[in-house]
């Protein structure tokens, strides 16, 4: 079904209604500008540290130069393996010669692209009936906001969405999701505060089936992988859902906070197995100077990064496109 290509990449405008999203749409502002703005803090690191290094007149590519380059690259959180590949490549191509900024930038571009290509993918969808998406992650990572953003994309594409307020831990969480549901024209199924999230999930999926909804998205309370009872709860939610629709949940999305650094990565690790995650949303890229973290995220989890979060509004979500991402990161590095 074509509708699951609803999540236009950032080179396509969010409001494009041409309806032919097989065609690459270029020269449209909108999502690419948003991606660029979101990655501006990361680009700034490359723009100052790397650019300063590249602009030093007569500077030769020697060991101190390569170590300075490595230091600047690592600041973006792209991880030691990507930085090492770039440093090695630049060393091999330019050693003892005068620095050629074009070669260095090309090496960064190619390395990041190679590491990121193939690390994305479309959302899975149900072959018949509602598509069920379970959203999980640590507290405050951006789960509920990401659900609002997905809902916005779906409803804009004319799909009917029912939300399950599975974070029954805090009353405020239910209110937050209800507010978004009202604003975005989605239905919502809530439970009593403190009630069993699996029962809320069950009722949300039942509502999706009986009301012929296209999409059912289930929110969950934030948890840590060390809280084994809560991690088991995710398994229970999955089991309940799969009894209602055998191949559901069709997606289990892990939301990771791009600003939280290495710690967030370790915290998220246990989710992959406990929740059977199928993809990642990397939220809060806009607030981070460490947008390069997408490289270790993709490497470490071995899961496709399906979307990136670029702000707090419902429109601030882009489908992850490696080529555009790398261009946005390198924005301005070669400018005089
Ligand atoms: N700047 C920015 N803030 C975000 C993004 N996603 C979520 N937030 C903010 O992060 C905070 C926690 O988000 P929330 O969705 O409630 O997290 P949850 O606890 O995982 O459900 C809220 O203040 C959100 O507005 C994003 O992509 N960019
Ligand atoms: Mg929440």
Q: 271, 283, 309, 314: which to mutate for ligand 1, most atoms within 8 A of CB?
A: 283
Beta-ladder partners of 308 = 282, 318
pTM here is 0.88
The DSSP letter of residue 9 is B
Q: 142, 144, 165, 170: which to mutate for ligand 1, most atoms within 8 A of CB?
A: 142
Tokens 């390569």 identify what position?
66
Residue 93 has pLDDT above 60, yes or no: yes
Mean pLDDT check: name the lowest of 38-52, 67-81, 87-101: 38-52
Mean pLDDT check: name the lowest of 101-110, 261-270, 321-330: 261-270
309 lines ligand 1 (CB under 6 A): yes
- Cβ neighbors of 284 (< 8 A, separation 6 or more) are 142, 257, 258, 259, 309
Q: What length does the chain have? A: 336
Which band of pLDDT confidence, cut at 50, 70 and 90, is reported for residue 150?
A: very high
Provide the mean pLDDT of the chain.
87
So where are the chain's domains? 38-116, 131-320
Q: What is the pLDDT of residue 336?
A: 66
- Cβ neighbors of 245 (< 8 A, separation 6 or more) are 126, 129, 130, 132, 205, 209
Distances from the Cα of 123 to the Cα of 8, 96, 154, 305, 336, angstroms:
12, 48, 12, 10, 40
36 lines ligand 1 (CB under 6 A): no
Residue 28 has pLDDT above 80, yes or no: no
The DSSP letter of residue 289 is S
For residues 315-333, give the mean pLDDT: 89
Strands across the sheet containing 187-189: 187-189, 161-164, 215-218, 131-136, 251-257, 279-283, 305-309, 317-319
User: Could you say which ligand is closest to the alpha carbon of residue 268?
Assistant: 1
Tokens 């859902």 identify what position?
241
- pLDDT, tens digit, 9 for 90 and up, residues 214-234: 999 999 998 887 788 888 999
The DSSP letter of residue 6 is G
Residue 281, preceding peptide bond in cis (omega within 30° of 0): no
Position with higher pLDDT, 49 vs 213: 213
Q: Does domain 38-116 have CATH number 3.40.630.30?
A: no
Q: Please give the distance, rounded to the nearest whole angstrom, from the Cα atom of residue 316 to the centre of ligand 2.
A: 17
Q: Which one is the CATH code of 131-320: 3.30.300.90, 3.90.180.10, 3.40.1310.30, 3.40.50.300?
A: 3.40.50.300
286 lines ligand 1 (CB under 6 A): yes
244 lines ligand 1 (CB under 6 A): no
């Amino acid at each position: 079904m074509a509708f699951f290509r609803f999540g236009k990449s950032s080179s396509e405008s969010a409001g494009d209604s041409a309806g032919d999203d097989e065609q690459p749409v270029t020269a449209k502002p909108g999502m690419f500008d948003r991606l660029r703005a979101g990655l501006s803090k990361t680009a700034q690191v490359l723009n100052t540290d790397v650019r300063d290094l590249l602009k030093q007149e007569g500077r030769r590519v020697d060991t101190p130069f390569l170590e300075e380059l490595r230091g600047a690259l690592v600041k973006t959180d792209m991880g030691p393996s990507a930085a090492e590949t770039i440093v090695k490549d630049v060393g091999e191509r330019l050693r003892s010669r005068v620095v050629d900024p074009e070669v260095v930038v090309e090496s960064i571009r190619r390395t990041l692209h190679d590491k990121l290509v193939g690390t994305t993918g479309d959302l899975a969808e149900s072959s018949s009936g509602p598509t069920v998406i379970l959203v999980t992650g640590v507290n405050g990572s951006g789960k509920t906001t990401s659900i609002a953003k997905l809902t916005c994309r779906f409803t804009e594409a004319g799909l009917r969405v029912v939300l399950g307020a599975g974070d029954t831990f805090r009353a405020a969480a239910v209110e937050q999701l209800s507010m978004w549901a009202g604003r975005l024209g989605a239905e919502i199924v809530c439970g009593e505060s403190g009630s069993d999230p699996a029962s809320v999930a069950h009722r949300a999926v039942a509502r999706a089936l009986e009301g012929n909804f296209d999409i059912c998205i289930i929110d969950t309370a934030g948890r840590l992988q060390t809280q084994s009872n809560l991690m088991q709860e995710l398994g229970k939610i999955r089991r309940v859902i799969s009894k209602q629709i055998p191949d559901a949940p069709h997606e289990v999305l892990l939301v990771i906070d791009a600003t939280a650094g290495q710690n967030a990565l370790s915290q998220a690790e246990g989710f992959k197995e406990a929740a059977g995650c199928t993809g990642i949303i990397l939220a809060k890229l806009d607030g981070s100077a460490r947008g390069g973290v997408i490289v270790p995220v993709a490497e470490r989890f071995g899961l496709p990064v399906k979307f990136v979060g670029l702000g707090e509004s419902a429109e601030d979500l882009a489908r992850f496109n490696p080529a555009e991402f790398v261009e946005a990161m390198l924005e301005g590095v070669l400018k005089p």
